[in-house]
Structure 1
Amino acid sequence: MTWIVEQDRTWAEWAALRILRVGPVPNHLAIIMDGNRRFARKEHKDTLVGHTQGFHKLTEMLCWCRDLGINEVTAYAFSIENFKRSKKEVDGLMDLAAEKFAKLLEEKEKMTKHGVCIRVIGDLNLLPSRIRKLTAEAILATRHNSKCFLNLALAYTSREEISSAVNELSRGVAEGKIYSSDISEELLEKCLHTRGSRDPDLLVRTSGEVRLSDFLLWQSGFSCLFFTKVLWPEFTIWHLFAAVFYYQRHYHTLSEARQQSLALRQCVVEESDIESCHIKFGDKVSQEHIIAHASARVERIENFLADLNNQRLNYLQQMASEGND
C-alpha cells in the first residue's frame, strides 16, 4: 500500500473540516497506535495482520492530517520494550518495517512532490542492519523536504532518549566543546532525538489505555492528551475530529501555560549569565561583560550543536552504505 493516500471526503466530513479549521488546529500531532494485537484477536486473525492494518491506518490518518492542516505527525511505531515480545512477532514487525520502508523509497519522488520529510527517532543501533540501512536511506532521501513531517519512533523510549541526550552533553563538557554552565533545559532539548521538531500540541492514544508508555515524556509537558477506547485499526476521521475539538477546548489554557514556562526558562538563562559574570569579574561586572559572556556561550553552543548534527549526518550516511543481513 502506498504511503501517500488520496481520499474523497463526504459532505459531512468536509463540513466538519471547515468548522474545525476556523479554530486553532494543532501543528504537531503525536499518536500512540495501540490496539493492533487486540484487533487481530477480535477478528480471529494473525497478529501480523493487525500490525499491517495498523500501518494502513497510519497512511489514512496522514491524509486526514493534510486535509486538516496538521503538518507534523509523530507515531509510536515500535518501543524498545517491544523487543521482549515473541521472536515470531518481532521478526514479523521487522519484515513489515523493511517492506514499508522499501515502498517509501520507491515513492520518494511522490514524497518530494508532497514535501514529506521522514525522520526516524530512537536507538537505531538496536535495529537489524537491513532496517538501519532502509531508514537511513529514507531519512537522507527526504531530509530537504519541508512541507510536512512524519516522525516514526522505532526502538524508542523516552528514558533512552533523555539518557542519550545527557550523555551527549557530558561528552561535550569532557571534550571542552561546552562548559557545564552552558547546560540548560533548552540545550538538552536540542540534544534529544526530536531536535528540530516542535513539541506536540496534541497527543492521542487509542485502545483505552490511559498512560504514555514512555513516549515523548519530555516533549509532552504542555501537550493536550486525548485518550479513546477505539482500537487503532478501527480509528476513523471522526475520532480525529473529536481529538482536535477536544484540543480546541483546552487550547488557551495550554498555550498560556507553555508561554509562562518559556518566559521562566529565559529568565533562568539570563540570571545564570549574570551570576557567571559576577563570579568571574566580581563587583566590576558591567553590561558589556554580560553581553560578551552571553555571546560567547551562544557561539559555543552553536558550534557544539553543529558538530552533533554533522555526526548524525555521517552516521546516517554510514548506515545507508551498510550491506543487508
Structure 2
Amino acid sequence: MSWIREGELSLLERLSANILKAGPMPKHVAFIMDGNRRYAQKKHVERQEGHTQGFDKLAETLRWCLNLDIHEVTVYAFSIENFKRSKEEVDGLMELAKEKFLRLLDEQENLEKHGVCIRVLGDLTLLPIDLQRVIAKAVMATRSHNKCFLNVCFAYTSRHEIANAVKEMAWGVEQGLIKSGDVSEALLNQCLYTSSSPNPDLLIRTSGEVRLSDFLLWQTSHSCLVFQSVLWPEYSFWNLCEAILQYQQNYRSLQKAQDIHREGQKVQQLEADRSHVSDLLQHRGNGKPMDARARQTALINYAENREERVQRFLGALQHKRDTFFEHLTSPTAVA
C-alpha cells in the first residue's frame, strides 16, 4: 500500500469538503491511531494483519487530509511503552515499519509530486540499527519537500521528549552556547522534536479510549481534543468530518486560549529580561541611579544578545540532529 493514495473524493465527499472549508479549518491534525489489535480480534485475524490494515488506513486518511487542505499530520505510530508488549508483536511491528519505510523510498516520485516531507520524531536510538538506517534514508530523501508534512512519532512518549529537551538545553549551557538565564518555556518548546511544526489544532483519538497516552502533552495544551469510538482501521472520511466540525464549533474559545497563552509568554519573557538586566546593572553600576531611557536601552541590548545566543544554540542543535541522520545514511556507518 502506497503512503499517499491517488484518487479524488466522491461527489458527496467533495460537496461536504467544500462546505467544511467554508469555516475555519485545522492546518495541523494529530492522530492517535488506536484500535488495530481490537480490529484484528473483531475480524478474527492475526494482530499483525490489524497493524497492516492500520497503516493502509493512514494512507487513505492522508489523501482525505490533502483534499481538505490539511497540510500537516502527526501520527502516534509506536510508543516507547509498546516495547513492553510481547517480543513477537514488537518484532512484527519493527518489520512492518521497515517494510513501509523501504516502500516510501520506492515512492519518491509520488512524494515529490505532492511535496510531502516525512519527519520521524522520537528516540530512534532505541530501534534496531537496520530500521534506524532505513528511517534516516526516508527522512533525508524528503527533507527538501515543503508542501505538506507527515510527522511519524516512533519510539516516542511526550515525557521522554520533554526530558530530552531539558538535556539539550543543559548541553547548550555546558557548551557555552547559552546561559542558564536563557532557559525558558519558549526555548524548551524549540528544543522539542516538534520544533519545526506548529502545535496541532486538532487531536483525534480513535477506539473509544479517552486519554492521551503520553502523546504530545506539551503541544496539545490548547488543541481541540476529539475522542471517537471507531476502531482505527475502520476510520472513515465522515469520522474525520465529524472531528473537524467539533473543531469548528470550539474554534473561538481555542483561539482565545492560544492568544492568552502567547501574551503570557511574552510578559513572562519580558519580566525575566528585566530581572536579569537589573541584576547586571546592580553588579556593574557605579552607585549612580540609571534613568528610564538608559534602562530601556540596556533591556533592548540584553534581549538582542539573548536572542543571538539562542539562535546560535538552536543552529548547533539542528546541526547535531542533522549529523545523526547523515551518519546513519553514510556508507561507512557501522552498527
Fold similarity call, TM over 0.5: yes
What SS is found at the alignment partner of 2:250?
helix
Judge conservation of contact 1:129–1:324 (CA < 8 Å) in 2.
Answer: no
Superposition deviation, residue 6 in structure 1: 1.6
Alpha-carbon deviations, 1:132-177, whole Å to 9, x = none? 0011111111111100000000000001000000001111112221
Q: 1:10 & 1:144 partners in 2: Cα distance?
A: 32
Of 292-301 and 266-275, deviating more is 266-275
Q: Alignment RMSD, CA only?
A: 1.2
Judge conservation of contact 1:132–1:320 (CA < 8 Å) in 2.
Answer: no
Give the match for residue 259 of structure 2.
Answer: 259
Give the match for residue 308 of structure 1.
Answer: 317
What SS is found at the alignment partner of 1:203?
strand
Superposition deviation, residue 89 in structure 1: 0.6
Give the match for residue 29 of structure 2.
Answer: 29
Judge conservation of contact 2:112–2:142 (CA < 8 Å) in 1.
Answer: yes
What SS is found at the alignment partner of 1:73?
strand
Superposition deviation, residue 287 in structure 1: 1.6
**Residue 319 of structure 1 pairs with residue 311 of structure 2:** no
Of 227-236 and 271-280, deviating more is 271-280
Give the match for residue 293 of structure 1.
Answer: 302
Alpha-carbon deviations, 1:95-131, whole Å to 9, x = none? 1101100010011122112100000000000010111
**Residue 157 of structure 1 pairs with residue 157 of structure 2:** yes
Unpaired segments of 5 or more residues in structure 1? none
Q: 1:36 & 1:168 partners in 2: Cα distance?
A: 35
Q: 1:19 & 1:309 partners in 2: Cα distance?
A: 41
Unpaired segments of 5 or more residues in structure 2? 283-288
Superposition deviation, residue 9 in structure 1: 2.2
Q: 1:41 & 1:256 partners in 2: Cα distance?
A: 43
| Greater radius of gyration (CA) | 2
Give the match for residue 9 of structure 1.
Answer: 9
Alpha-carbon deviations, 1:262-289, whole Å to 9, x = none? 0110011111111111111134252211
Q: 1:238 & 1:324 partners in 2: Cα distance?
A: 47
Superposition deviation, residue 47 in structure 1: 0.2
Give the match for residue 213 of structure 2.
Answer: 213
Q: 1:8 & 1:148 partners in 2: Cα distance?
A: 17
Matches within 5 A, 1:49-64: 49-64=49-64
Judge conservation of contact 1:123–1:154 (CA < 8 Å) in 2.
Answer: yes
What SS is found at the alignment partner of 1:117?
strand
Give the match for residue 223 of structure 2.
Answer: 223
Superposition deviation, residue 324 in structure 1: 8.7
Q: 1:90 & 1:310 partners in 2: Cα distance?
A: 31
**Residue 174 of structure 1 pairs with residue 174 of structure 2:** yes
Judge conservation of contact 2:166–2:188 (CA < 8 Å) in 1.
Answer: yes
Aligned length: 325
* Aligned residue type for 2:80: I
Judge conservation of contact 1:28–1:71 (CA < 8 Å) in 2.
Answer: yes
Q: 1:321 & 1:239 partners in 2: Cα distance?
A: 43
* Aligned residue type for 1:271: E
* Aligned residue type for 1:128: P
Q: 1:181 & 1:5 partners in 2: Cα distance?
A: 48
What SS is found at the alignment partner of 1:56?
helix
Give the match for residue 108 of structure 2.
Answer: 108
* Aligned residue type for 1:15: L
* Aligned residue type for 2:306: R
Q: 1:224 & 1:4 partners in 2: Cα distance?
A: 26
Q: 1:253 & 1:148 partners in 2: Cα distance?
A: 27
What SS is found at the alignment partner of 1:286?
helix
Q: 1:305 & 1:313 partners in 2: Cα distance?
A: 12
Work out the percentage of aligned pairs sharing the same amino acid. 50
Q: 1:324 & 1:25 partners in 2: Cα distance?
A: 46
* Aligned residue type for 1:320: T
Matches within 5 A, 1:24-173: 24-173=24-173
Q: 2:130 & 2:174 partners in 1: Cα distance?
A: 34
What SS is found at the alignment partner of 2:34?
coil
Judge conservation of contact 1:133–1:321 (CA < 8 Å) in 2.
Answer: no
Superposition deviation, residue 19 in structure 1: 0.4
Q: Structure 2-normalised TM-score?
A: 0.95
* Aligned residue type for 1:277: V
What SS is found at the alignment partner of 1:315?
helix
Give the match for residue 275 of structure 1.
Answer: 275
Q: 1:170 & 1:278 partners in 2: Cα distance?
A: 24
